[in-house]
Amino acid sequence: MYVFGIEELFWAVLVFVAIHYWRLNRNTPMTKWPVLGMLPGLLHNVSNIHGYVDLTLKQNGGTFIFEGPWLTNMNILCTSDPMNVQHITSTKFENYGKGNDFREIFEVLGEGIFRSDSHIWKYNRKLLHSIFKQGNFQVFIQKTVEKKICNYLLVFLDHASKNGVQVDLQDIFQRLTFDNICSVVLGFDPKCLSIDLPEIPCERAFTQAEDTLFIRHVKPKLLWKLQNWFQVGEEKQFIKNNKFIDEMLYSEIKSKREMRGEQKVDLLDIIINEVGDGENKIDDKFLRDTSINLLAAGRDTISSGLTWFFWLVATHPLIEAKILEEIKENLPSREHSWKDLGAKGLSKLVYLHGALCEALRLYPPIPFEHKSAQKSDVLPSGHRVESNTMIVYSLYSVGRVEEIWGEDCLEFKPERWISQKGGIVYVPSYKFIAFNAGPRSCLGKDISFIEMKMVAIAILLNYHIQVVEDHPIIPSLSVVLHMKHGLKVNLKKRSI
C-alpha cells in the first residue's frame, strides 16, 4: 500500500488552503493569502494595475490597506477619498512627507524638489518659484516651444503626411518635450525630434529608468536592493542609465561654469549667474539634482497629457470640431497663423482648456503619489495611520470618483469644465489633482497648459488625426501614465 510522504502531505495541505482561500475571496479584488498577504493578487493584475486599484478602492469606500508578505514592510494605506487627500496634502501637510520608502525608490532624483522634504524642499520650491515667475523666463519658454513646433514638429508631421507614414504620436511628443525641457533647463537642444527620428542615448536612458522605478514599487525592497547591490536584472541597466545621465548633466554644468557671465535665460544660467553667485553658494550636486527633477517633469508629464488628449479628441469627432471652431473664431484673421494668438488668445480658448482638463482628469500623467506619516494620525475616513506608514493616493482613481464628477465620470466631456457664463469652472486641487494639491502643487501648471495648448492648436489646425484601426490603447507599467504600445496614427493635411 502506498504511504504519503511528508512532502506530498505538505503540498496537499498547501493546495487545500489555496483553494479554500480562493473560494472564500474569489469576489474580493484584494485577497489576503497566508504568508504572501495581498501580493499575489497585485502581481496577477499588474498589467491593469490602475484599473485594479480603482476597483478595489470603490469596493472599499475609497480607502483600503494593502497588506504585503510577512517581514517585507509592504503594508500600504491606499486612498482616493478627496477628504483624505485634502487632509494629507493640505490640512496636515507638515505631518506627511515623502518618507524613506519614496526616497529609496527615487534615489536618482537626489535632493531635488520632488524627493526632498522639510527645509530642503522649501528652499528648492522658493528658488524655482522666483525663477518661474520672471517675465523674461516665461517669454523664453514660449519662444522655445514655438520655435520647436514650427521648425521641427510641423516639419516632421508634414513629411509623414505627404509620404503616408504612420506616426507614433507618443514617441513624437516625448521627443518634442525632451528637446523643449533640455533647452529651457540646460540651454541646449539634443534634437531628438527630426525627420529621421534618431535614437538619443540620454532620452532613452530616461525612459528605461522610469520602467525600473515602477518595478521597485511592486517588488519587495530586499529583492531589488540585492539586485542593485550585485548589479543584475533591470537594476544593472538602471545603474548604467544613471551614470550616463549624470555624465551628461555634469558636462553641461561644467560648460556653464566656464561661460559664466554670458547673458542667457535658461534655468541653469539663471541659478548660476543670479542666484548662486558662482561656485560659492550653489554646488554642482545641487544643479544636477535640480536639473534631473525638472527634466523628468517637463518631458514626461506634458508628453503623457498630450498623448491621451489627442487619442480622446481623435475618437470624439464632435469635440474635435468644437475645438477647431473655437480656435478659428479666436484667430485674428484667416490669414494669420496659430502663432498670432499670443498668451491672451490662448486664455480665450475655454473649450480647449476644458478638453485638456478632461484628459488630465481621466489620465493624470502621474497616476499615484507617495506620502509617509511622521506621527500617528486619524484620516477623515476614520482610518488610523501609524508613524512611518506608507500612504499612496491614486490620482487616477480620484478622477473617477462619482461623488465628485457624477455618474458620467468615465465620459470625456469638456463641457463639465465650462460654466453657464462661459468661463472655466473652478475645481479644488484635491479633487482635480493632476497637478497635485496643497503646498506641493505643481509650479509649472500654467507653463504646462501653455505648451499643451500651443502643440494642440498647431496640430489640429494643420492635420486631421486618425488612430490606426485596432491599435491597442493600454496604460504602460510605469511611474508615468504612458501608453504601452504608443499612439499609432495616420495624418491627413487640412486645408485651412
Sequence ranges of the binding site: 442
Distance CA 217, CA 445 (A): 26
* DSSP-H helix ranges across 32-134: 39-44, 49-59, 82-86, 99-105, 118-132
Is the alpha carbon torsion for 205, 209, 210, 212 positive or negative? Answer: positive
Closest CA to 302 of 448, 446, 476: 448
Residue 425 CA to residue 417 CA, distance in Å, equals: 5
- For residue 110, what is the DSSP state? T
Task: Determine contact, residues 102/416, Cβ cutoff 8 Å.
Answer: no
Binding-site residues for heme, please? Answer: 442
312, containing H or E segment: helix 284-314
134 in the Ramachandran plot: left (φ > 0), alpha (ψ -120 to 50) or beta? Answer: beta
CB atoms within 10 A of CB 111: 18
In the structure grid, which three cell numbers stand for residue 15, read together?
A: 493546495
Tell me the one-letter amino acid at 300: D
Q: DSSP secondary-structure letter at 331?
A: S
* Residues 63/81, Cβ–Cβ less than 8 Å: yes
